Amino acid sequence: MTRRANHRIAEDFLDAYKDRDFERIKQLLHDDIEWTLPGNGTISGVAAGTDAVINRIKAIIEGGIKTELHHILVGQFGIALSLHNTATREDGQMLDEELATVLTIESGLIKKIDTYLSDVPMVEKYFQ
């Protein structure tokens, strides 16, 4: 798979996320996908399998998260997304963090997602 093809997969993933097109997201995921996210909040830990990954995405969206893309960074076997997430809950709790989400791509599908957060305690508090 070429780096350009991997870049397109990342763009498709981001577009489907923005559009809340969960079926399209599923089509981009390997059946054995795992997504790691640090911390002890309700969205933290390892989400294994397409259903668990889709459920995590839904929880993030339901949390009111607005995601801004800074950069798509190309690697040998995948893509890193440099992102900025912001949100404010109805109770006034705020989220404002930088993050990197690394997509490992295998045979044209996202095999693994690893998220790195700038402020793990903030995410834990926001997603209690």
Domains of the chain, residue spans: 3-126
For residue 28, CA distances in Å to 11, 48, 85, 120 come to 11, 15, 22, 27
Judged against a pLDDT cut of 90, whether residue 118 lies above it is answered with: yes
Q: How long a stretch of residues is the chain?
A: 128
The string of pLDDT tens digits covering residues 57-87 is 999 999 999 999 999 999 888 899 999 999 9
- Which residue in the block uniquely carries the two structure tokens 């995921």? 29
pTM check: above 0.95: no
Q: Is it true that domain 3-126 has CATH number 3.90.950.20?
A: no
Mean pLDDT in residue range 49-56? 98
